[in-house]
A and B are shown apart, each in its own frame.
Chain A
Amino acid sequence: MAELPDGGTVMSIGAVLGVAIPQGRAEAIARDLAVLAGRLAASSVQPVVEDEPADALRALR
């Protein structure tokens, strides 16, 4: 398992985008993202190579 992101990573992303993300909020975002990523990785439904965003419009026809 790769090391989970920390507040510093999130603050760095904010800096790249020109938005200051306070440390406390950055740490909470990192925690939430790690939990979310864990749930999504454990889900039984995963994309395959051929899946693409436009499939949704076709599925709605």
Chain B
Amino acid sequence: MSDPALWTLAEAAAAVAARRISSRELVRACLARIAMWQMETNAFIDLREEQAWRMAEAADAALEGGRAPGGGLHGVPLAHKDMFYRAGEVSTCGSRLRRAWRAGETATVLSRLDGAGAVDLGTLNMAEWAGGATGHNMWFADARNPWDARYASGGSSSGSGAAVAARMVFGALGSDTGGSIRLPASMCGVAGLKPTYGAVSRHAVMPRAWSLDVVGPLARTAADCALLFAAIAGPDALDPTTADAPVFVPPVRPDGLRGTVIGVERGMLDSADAAVRPVLDEALGVLRGLGATLVDVAIPDLEAIFDHGGVISACEAAAIHAQAMRETPEGFAPDLYQRMLGGLATPAVMYIQALRLRGRLITAVRREVFGRCSALFCPTVAMKVPTREATRTRTAEDVGRVHGKLVRLTRPFNMLGLPALSLPCGFDGDGLPVGFQLAGPPHAEAGLLAVGMAYEQEAGWYRRIPGG
């Protein structure tokens, strides 16, 4: 493959480390892809070429001077959802209200990526305040699916999914409160890791619902996600919820999956539309062919998990934005504003009960599901990728109808705080990607990524590229 922009992140990083290519050459290749795909996808909000050239030159100089850090990201161009603050730079959060807002400090995750020698190409499109599952944005225009621009990219990390899929960048950070990493990963055909709650610092990251929010990578493969996760994971004194985060070491791709027990969440799988079910069954066949043992499992109290997660999300989002809703209601998209009114009116006791039940629900799932398997398989989205037109929402009721369906199989893992990896596993009849999730017990990211690495090597879907 001659165009280096089409390499995986791992391949690009290895080539830089071996000095077969410079960071500047990778930046040039990515800029060529951006020139080709930005109009089609609207993935970038702010392309920062000057910053990228500066960082790439520094990376190349460090390599030449023998000062390059280890870790597998040195000199690799990335870009991130526009909600990770960089001191002195605009961070729009997808909102009209923050079109010119400059951050006062830098997110720990960006500092860690900078320290690893990664290059930051700019900020990526997202749902307004990370409050949507489709990729629509009325202030910065929709992010569009690179497989077919008529279709939704998924959200809220919409630009991250589109940019990685179109090979404009080698990887991107997203955030996930109810599915916002996994939905665009699935709908754009890339890998996306929602880490365990508390595994990655949220310091200087825009909050959507702090009890559920996690930061994680979207990349071309599970192996690439592992490299990104290794750079950002771990305790941060600036975010006390990370106190128990273990040090993560990227796994080695296993030679088959013999001895691995994968639970199949039968109810979730059976909820998949006929249009995507055969693709999911084929993925299970690949896992079985690799030697995995498949057993049926059921998440106990799944409906309650979903409902309580929705209560926490709605109430925390409304609390975060209550002042702006009071003072500048015109600063919100009408459908988002209307939906957040529901959070304002939800009784405090209902919210607190959801928080109180969380430990009990997590404990039950650890015992009843992960007592029987090391990873749980289910679809990421139970339906075909919808068109942007079919998912354009104007009222709160529209939002509930559209977004509720999309997050049905992702939100439970936010409520449970558990890690979940979405991987591409084929295409629907319209030629749009289908994805599945592998969820695990707390801090089981290495195990999930290892299964994902074995799967993707065998299935090879990551080699398919939009337009090519």
Contacts and interface: CB of A to CB of B under 8 A. Distances in A.
Contacts of B203: none
Interface in B278-336: 300-301, 303-304, 307-308, 310-311, 322, 325-326, 329
Contact of A60 (B310, B325, B341, B362): B362
Interface in A3-44: 10, 13-14, 17-19, 21, 25-26, 28-30, 32-33, 36-37, 39-40, 43-44
A36 B303 CA distance: 11
B271 interface: no
A59 interface: yes
Nearest to B358: A56
Interface residues of A, number: 34
B263 to A, nearest CB: 19
Contacts of A39: 303-304, 307
Nearest to A52: B356
Contacts of B344: 13-14, 17, 19, 21
A47 B311 contact: no
Contacts of B443: 60
Contacts of B400: 32
Nearest to B323: A18
A47 B345 contact: no
B244 A61 contact: yes
B322 A59 contact: no
Contacts, number: 114
Interface residues of B, number: 45
A39 to B, nearest CB: 6
A45 B300 CA distance: 9
A53 B301 CA distance: 18
B197 interface: yes
Contacts of B345: 10, 13-14, 21, 26, 29-30, 33
Given A18-B326, A19-B341, A47-B356, A36 B307 contact: yes
A30 B341 CA distance: 11
B304 A45 contact: yes
Interface of B: 196-198, 211, 241, 244, 300-301, 303-304, 307-308, 310-311, 322, 325-326, 329, 338, 341-342, 344-347, 350, 352-353, 355-364, 366, 396-397, 400, 417, 442-443
Given A21-B341, A57-B241, A60-B442, A45 B357 contact: yes
Contact of B363 (A10, A46, A59): A59
B326 A37 contact: no
Given A33-B346, A60-B442, A53 B304 contact: no
Nearest to A50: B356
Contacts of A55: 356, 358-360
B353 A44 contact: no
A48 to B, nearest CB: 8
- Across the A-B interface, give the 6 residue pairs with the lowest CB-CB distance, nearest first: A55-B359, A56-B358, A53-B355, A59-B362, A43-B304, A51-B356
B342 A56 contact: no
A43 B303 contact: yes
Contacts of B310: 36
Contacts of B341: 14, 19, 21, 25-26, 29
A60 B307 contact: no
A46 B354 CA distance: 9
